[in-house]
Amino acid sequence: MASVNTGAEQEWEEYIDSVSATINDTQVPIPAALKTGGSVLTTSKIGPPTSTTGLEEPGCTGEKADLLIRLGLMKLVIRVGGLTLEALPETLKLNLSRLRRVQSQLQKIITITTSGLVLRQTLLTEHLVTSSMDMENLVSECAKKLSELLDSVEDVGILEIVDTISELLKSSGHDSNDEKLQARKEVMSSMLVKSLQAGDAIFELVSRSIYLAMKGRCVGRKWI
């Protein structure tokens, strides 16, 4: 709680501003570094949040202790390194496995999102698609395949991810000779390695976007 105390007020103000923007149907700018994949809109409309239960789920009201606990938990699971008992306060040690599951899911989302950006760039660079619909279909199928891979294999490396993307392109009719295929794999591997490292611009933007989405969910609803 002490580690997030300094920026808690700013985090709360950002959350309130984002809620106001969605309620007012404000267009949210897309960061330039994420504008990959050819023709994309420069803004994105996000509808107001809805409850899947049909009931209102009151979230944090800004009360300091409640806000600090929520933000503190988020800071723990969004970190790159795996959580350990040593990194947790005494009151959370029994929840290590639950926190690790959340952290694993967030890292999975970051990996799939970044891989989707790499696929988009590959499709654009090699002119492998003729319409935005074809591109979206391929990226959607890629996300599905990678999700299955990450759920079924404990330690997935860059090569496995690139092989999955390559198989998808091949099954979609985008086959190439061995030399071109190998060159494509090397380019995608290099892009993924760079983009999945802390400090890289793409990694920071993707992580930040996911963090903001998580904050909206965590701060915007009651504890259950």
- Whole-number pLDDT of residue 138: 93
For the whole model, what pTM was predicted? 0.77
DSSP-derived letter for residue 169 is H
Check pLDDT > 50 for residue 110: yes
**Tens digit of each residue's pLDDT (9 = 90 or more) over 198-207:** 889 999 999 9
38, 51 Cβ separation under 8 angstroms: no
Q: Bigger pLDDT: 184 or 172?
A: 184
Task: Show the tokens assigned to 46.
Answer: 């996000």
Hey, what amino acid is at 71? L
Task: Show the tokens assigned to 190.
Answer: 């290099």
Instruction: Give kind and range of the element (H or E) at residue 118.
Output: helix 96-125
Pairing label, strands 27-29, 43-45: antiparallel
Q: Please give the average per-residue pLDDT across 39-54, as a whole number.
A: 41
d(Cα 200, Cα 192) in Å, to the nearest integer? 11
- Whole-number pLDDT of residue 38: 42
- C-alpha distance from residue 35 to each of 80, 84, 147, 177 (Å): 24, 36, 23, 30
Q: pLDDT tier at 27 (50, 70, 90 boundaries)? A: low
- Whole-number pLDDT of residue 57: 54
Highest-pLDDT range among 15-24, 53-62, 81-90, 119-128: 119-128
Stated length of the chain = 224
Highest-pLDDT range among 35-44, 47-56, 154-163: 154-163
Q: What percent helix, strand, coil does the chain show, rounded to 5?
A: 65, 5, 30
Coil, helix or strand at residue 133: helix
d(Cα 192, Cα 203) in Å, to the nearest integer? 10
Coil, helix or strand at residue 198: coil
CA-closest candidate to residue 218, choices 8, 104, 96, 67: 67
d(Cα 80, Cα 104) in Å, to the nearest integer? 10
**Tens digit of each residue's pLDDT (9 = 90 or more) over 154-165:** 888 999 999 999
* Cβ atoms within 10 Å of 189's Cβ, excluding its own: 17
Check pLDDT > 90 for residue 15: no
Check pLDDT > 90 for residue 53: no
